[in-house]
Structure 1
Amino acid sequence: MKQSSEKVYALAFGAHPDDVELACGATLLKIMKEGRRVAVCDLTRGELGTLGSIEIRKAEAEKARQIMGYSARVSLDLGDGKLFYNEENLNAIIRVIRRFRPEVVFANPPDERHPDHMKASKLVADAVYYAGLKRLVTAENDCKQEAFRPAHLLYYLQFKHIDPDIIVDVTDTFEASRSGISAFGSQFYHEGSAEEPATLINRKEFLTGLEARARYFGEQIGSLYGEGLLTTRTPGVATFSSLFP
C-alpha cells in the first residue's frame, strides 16, 4: 500500500482544545525536535467551557498549531459534554487513526475529574484497537481506509496526581511549550481576568502549578523539567545503554 503523505509518528487526542498542550506539549515538541511528525485531534470544540466562544477557541487552537509546529490539527466536533460511547463517535476516531497511521497515540487519562476526559480516554483506547480490524470498514472522502493499529498507546496526566510509568526529560522543550499553552489566552489568567467568572484553570496559580509539577517530575529523573506518562503495555528496551546512557 502506498504510504499516506499524512502519516505521523505521534497522534495526540484531547477531549477539548488545550488538553494536549497543557499535559504533554513539551513531550510533543521533543518528538518533533527529534525529527518526527506530530498531529493533534481535538474531539470537541470546548463549547461548554465557561470562558471563550466556539470561534475564539477555534482560532486559539489554530494559533497553537502554528506555534507548536504540528503537521496537522483536526477537530471532530463530537460535542462538548456529549462524548458518548457509541458507534458514530468510535468510528470518527478510528478514521483519524487510519488517516494519520501513527506509531504512538497519546490520550486523556482514564481516571480524571472531568467526565469528558474519562469518556475520551475510553473512546480513544478502544479506537486504537478497532482501527486494526480489517473487517471494520471506514471511508474518508469516499475512499475505503486500510486497517491500521498503532504500536503504542500512552496516557498523559491532567488534574489528578497519578504516579507515572514513564517520565520524559523535557528540559529543552518545556519553556517553548508554554507558548503553545499561552495561545489559549481566553482560558487562563490575564490582565482583567478577575472580572470574568472563576474557573479551575483561570486562577493565577494554575500555570505556576503546572510548572511545579514539571519540576517535581524532572527532579525524579535528575533533570530540570519532566512530563509523566502512563503506559498500556510494558515497553521493550532494544539496547541496554539507551535506557542507561
Structure 2
Amino acid sequence: MTKVLVFSPHPDDDVIGCGGSIAKHVAKGNKVGVVYMTSGDIGSLAHSPAEIASIREREARQAAGCLGVSEVHFFKNHDGYLDCTWKNLVRVTSLLREFRPHIVYIPHEDDRHRDHRKTHELVVEACGWSGSPRAPVCGQNLWRVGTILCYEVGTPVRDCSYVEDITDYIDAKSRALAFHSSQLSNLDYNEAVRSLNRFRGITTGGGTYCECFQVVRATNLFSARDSFRRGD
C-alpha cells in the first residue's frame, strides 16, 4: 500500500489541485491523509473568523470523506499569515515521520497566493528534515519522502513535468468540491476547475481530464512497488 499525504493551505485547495488524484489513489487501495495548514478563517464577509473556520473545517471533512481520505489534520495557522516557522517545521516533520508517506502533494512554488507559496517552502524544508537526524525533537523514526508533486490551484503550473489522467474520477472531484459551499457561494469555481482539467487533458494528450504537476522529487514514482503510476 502506498501512503499519500496532501498539504492544503486552505480547505478546498486539496480538492481543486489534486482531488482527482486523491480519488484515484483511494480506488487503488492507497492510504491518503490531508493536512490543512489554515482553516480559511478570513474566507467570508458574512461570518466571524471563528465561525467561518468552523464551517470550513466541517466542509473539508465532508469533502475528504467523499473522496475516501483516511485522516485529516488541521494545523489552524492564521489564514493569510502562514510562515515557515520553527513550530510549523516541527509539526510537519513530526507528522511526516509518523505518517511515513511515499508521495507528498503540495502547491507549486510560483502560486500567486502567499499561503500557497509558504506551504510549498515549509513542506519541502520539512521533507528534508524528515530524513535527517538533525531534528530529534520530531521523533526518532527518520523517513525520506520518495516523491513530491506540486499541484495547481489559482495559478496554473508553467512547466508541467507530470500528468495524471483523472477522467474516471472527475465526477468524484466535482462532488467533493461541491461540499465547500461557503466558498462556492462567493465564486462558483467548480466549473472553472473542471474546465482546467479538461484543458489539461486536451493540451497534454494524457486523457479526457487531467491534473498537471511539477515534480520536486520522484525517487519512487515509477518504481515497481508503487501501485499509482502515470496512466494506470
Measured against the shorter chain, the TM-score band is 0.7 to 0.9
2:174·2:190 contact (CA, 8 Å) conserved in 1?
A: no
Structure 2 residue 77 is the aligned partner of structure 1 residue 78: yes
1:39-118, aligned counterparts within 5 Å? 39-50=33-44, 53-118=52-117
Amino acid at match of 1:157: E
Shift of 1:16: 0.8
**Matched AA of 2:215:** T
Question: 5 Å matches for 1:150-229?
Answer: 150-162=145-157, 163-189=159-185, 202-204=186-188, 206-219=189-202, 220-229=204-213
Deviation at 1:134, TM superposition (A): 2.0
Structure 1 position 46, deviation (Å)? 1.0
Match of residue 33, structure 1, among 9, 27, 31 = 27
| Contact 1:8-1:39 within 8 A present in 2 as well | no
Choose 173-182 or 217-226, whichever is displaced more: 217-226
Offset, 1:82: 2.4
Residue 160 of structure 1 deviates from its aligned partner by 1.6
Measured on the aligned residues, the alpha-carbon RMSD in Å equals 2.2
Deviation per CA, 1:134-164: give whole Å up to 9, x if none: 231135xxxx441112111110011122231
Q: TM-score, normalised by structure 2?
A: 0.87
CA 1:224–1:47 in structure 2 vs 1: closer, same or farther (change >3 Å)?
same
CA–CA distance in structure 2, aligned partners of residues 187 and 145 of structure 1: 40
1:146 and 2:141 are equivalent in the alignment = yes
Partner SS, residue 77 of structure 2: coil
Aligned equivalents of 1:211, 1:146: Cα separation in 2: 40
Unaligned runs of 5+ in 1: 1-6, 190-201
Equivalent-residue separation in structure 1 for 2:63 and 2:206 (angstroms): 30
Query: Could you say if the C-alpha distance between residues 84 and 175 of structure 1 is closer, same or farther in structure 2, counting changes exceeding 3 Å?
Result: same
Largest Rg, 1 or 2: 1
Structure 1 position 244, deviation (Å)? 8.9
In structure 2, what is the equivalent of residue 198 of structure 1? none
In structure 1, what is the Cα distance between the partners aligned to 2:133 and 2:89?
A: 16
Give the deviation of 1:79 after TM superposition. 2.2
Normalised by the length of structure 1, the TM-score is 0.83
**Change beyond 3 A, Cα 1:238–1:132:** closer
Following the alignment from structure 1 to structure 2, what is the Cα–Cα distance between the partners of residues 243 and 226? 11
Taking only the aligned residue pairs, the percentage that are identical comes to 28
Task: Assess if the C-alpha contact under 8 Å between 2:56 and 2:180 holds in 1.
Answer: yes
Which segments of 5 or more consecutive residues in structure 2 lack a partner in the other structure?
none
- In the alignment, the residues of structure 2 paired with residue 238 and residue 73 of structure 1 have an alpha-carbon distance, to the nearest angstrom, of 27
Distance 1:28 1:133, change over 3 A: same
Contact 2:164–2:231 under 8 Å retained in 1: no
Give the aligned length.
220
